[in-house]
């Protein structure tokens, strides 16, 4: 089974994909960005794909939401991966000798207290794995890379300092994608909808929320994104704590369509904690 994920090697996305399918025989396939993963699934170049949708600190990954709009894919699962950041160094490096730290801006921001205490310079890279890989290739003893323990094992680096993040509750959730809708969703606990108004009117979002509230459908995530047709017009991603098979969720969809909203069911799934 071919599984697409956001590369390069050593990323949290790679870790999530391999851990999610730990009991399956898979062929992990790297892609350079999130849209490439979505397109690979939509065009059936791969069997499955896994993409990040939300980080507990940084919020929604809008490239993923926008990609879901434009690609014909089905969300069949959700994976939640704890994000723990380590300071990595080459073999023989010592923490007291580190003068510069490399990583992506969000990771560096999440370790600001640590880097300020060390009084080091920081340098930005396109991914945590890219910083770790470059450090391995250059072999510098005065540089550390902020990345995961997965990246340390991938690139043969040592962990110079563990759990250096400021917030201990960080995690990223990923969507597991396939091309075809799963026929049996009778055990699904969550569903994701894309709701697009067909005309602008006062209280658009309030109407949507009132429909779900009146039917006792709990919402776990709401995200608005521009329609890209006119300034100030939006579509809404809604995640409900209810499988698509549930009567009340079906009623909510029917009511919204009666009100003139276009409702697309993006998936119905369960959550797996990694």
The per-residue pLDDT for range 215-271, each reduced to its tens digit, is 999 999 999 998 888 887 889 999 999 999 999 999 999 999 999 899 999 999 999
Instruction: Based on the fold, state whether residues 146 and 261 are members of the same structural domain.
Output: no
Q: Is residue 263 part of a domain?
A: yes
Whole-number pLDDT of residue 244: 92
Instruction: Based on the fold, state whether residues 7 and 74 are members of the same structural domain.
Output: yes
**Percentage of the chain exceeding pLDDT 70:** 99
Whole-number pLDDT of residue 57: 87
Instruction: Based on the fold, state whether residues 51 and 174 are members of the same structural domain.
Output: yes
Q: Is residue 184 part of a domain?
A: no
Instruction: Based on the fold, state whether residues 43 and 174 are members of the same structural domain.
Output: yes
Instruction: Based on the fold, state whether residues 99 and 133 are members of the same structural domain.
Output: yes
Whole-number pLDDT of residue 249: 97
Per-residue pLDDT, averaged over 68-76, amounts to 95
Whole-number pLDDT of residue 183: 63
Q: Is residue 202 part of a domain?
A: yes
Query: What is the domain-level CATH number for residue 261?
Result: 3.30.70.260
Per-residue pLDDT, averaged over 27-44, amounts to 95
Domain total of the chain = 3
Which of these three, 151, 178, 205, is where a domain ends?
A: 178
Query: What is the domain-level CATH number for residue 17?
Result: 3.40.190.10
Q: Is residue 153 part of a domain?
A: yes
Q: Is residue 155 part of a domain?
A: yes
Which of these three, 153, 178, 203, is where a domain ends?
A: 178
Which of these three, 135, 151, 178, is where a domain ends?
A: 178
Does residue 81 register a pLDDT over 80?
A: yes
Instruction: Based on the fold, state whether residues 72 and 174 are members of the same structural domain.
Output: yes
Mean pLDDT in the chain?
93
Instruction: Based on the fold, state whether residues 42 and 174 are members of the same structural domain.
Output: yes
Per-residue pLDDT reduced to its tens digit, 99-120: 999 999 989 999 999 999 999 9
Q: Is residue 197 part of a domain?
A: yes
Q: What is the 3-state secondary structure (H, E, C) of the chain?
A: CEEEEECCCCCHHHHHHHHHCCCCCCEEEEECCHHHHHHHHHCCCCCEEEEEEEECCCEECHHHHHHHHHCCCEEEEEEEEECCCEEEECCCCCHHHCCEEEECHHHHHHCHHHHHHHCCEEEECCCHHHHHHHHHHHCCCCEEEEECHHHHHHHCCEEEECCCCCCCCCEEEEEEEECCCCCCCCCCCEEEEEEEECCCCCCHHHHHHHHHHHCCCCEEEEEEEECCCCCCCEEEEEEECCCCCCHHHHHHHHHHHHCCEEEEEEEEECEEEC
Instruction: Based on the fold, state whether residues 145 and 33 are members of the same structural domain.
Output: no
Instruction: Based on the fold, state whether residues 242 and 122 are members of the same structural domain.
Output: no
Whole-number pLDDT of residue 227: 83
Q: Is residue 185 part of a domain?
A: no
Does residue 143 register a pLDDT over 90?
A: yes
Instruction: Based on the fold, state whether residues 45 and 174 are members of the same structural domain.
Output: yes
Q: Is residue 203 part of a domain?
A: yes
Instruction: Based on the fold, state whether residues 201 and 261 are members of the same structural domain.
Output: yes
Work out the pLDDT band at 184, boundaries 50, 70, 90. Answer: low
Instruction: Based on the fold, state whether residues 74 and 109 are members of the same structural domain.
Output: no
Task: Give the domain range for residue 26.
Answer: 2-83+170-178
Whole-number pLDDT of residue 145: 97
């Amino acid at each position: 089974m071919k599984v697409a994920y956001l590369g390069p090697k050593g990323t949290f996305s790679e870790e999530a994909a391999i851990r999610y399918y730990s009991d399956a025989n898979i062929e992990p396939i790297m892609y350079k960005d999130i849209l490439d993963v979505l397109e690979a699934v939509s065009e059936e170049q791969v069997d499955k794909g896994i993409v990040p949708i939300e980080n507990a600190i940084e919020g929604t990954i809008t490239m993923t939401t926008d990609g879901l709009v434009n690609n014909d894919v089905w969300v069949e699962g959700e994976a939640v991966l704890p994000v723990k950041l380590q300071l990595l160094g080459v073999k023989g490096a010592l923490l007291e000798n580190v003068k510069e730290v490399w990583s992506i801006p969000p990771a560096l921001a999440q370790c600001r207290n640590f880097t300020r205490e060390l009084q080091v310079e920081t340098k930005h890279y396109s991914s945590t794995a890219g910083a770790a890989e470059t450090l391995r290739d250059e072999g510098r003893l005065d540089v550390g890379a902020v990345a995961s323990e997965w990246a340390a094992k991938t690139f043969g680096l040592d962990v110079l300092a563990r759990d250096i993040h400021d917030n201990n509750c960080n995690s990223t959730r990923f969507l597991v994608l396939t091309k075809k809708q799963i026929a049996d969703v009778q055990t699904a606990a969550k569903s994701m909808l894309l709701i697009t108004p067909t005309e602008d009117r006062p209280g658009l979002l309030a109407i949507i929320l009132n429909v779900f509230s009146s039917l006792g459908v709990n919402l776990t995530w709401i995200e608005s994104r521009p329609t890209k047709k006119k300034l100030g017009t939006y579509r809404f991603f809604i995640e409900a704590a209810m499988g698509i098979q549930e009567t009340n969720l079906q009623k909510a969809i029917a009511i919204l369509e009666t009100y003139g909203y276009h409702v697309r069911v993006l998936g119905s799934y369960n959550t797996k904690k990694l």
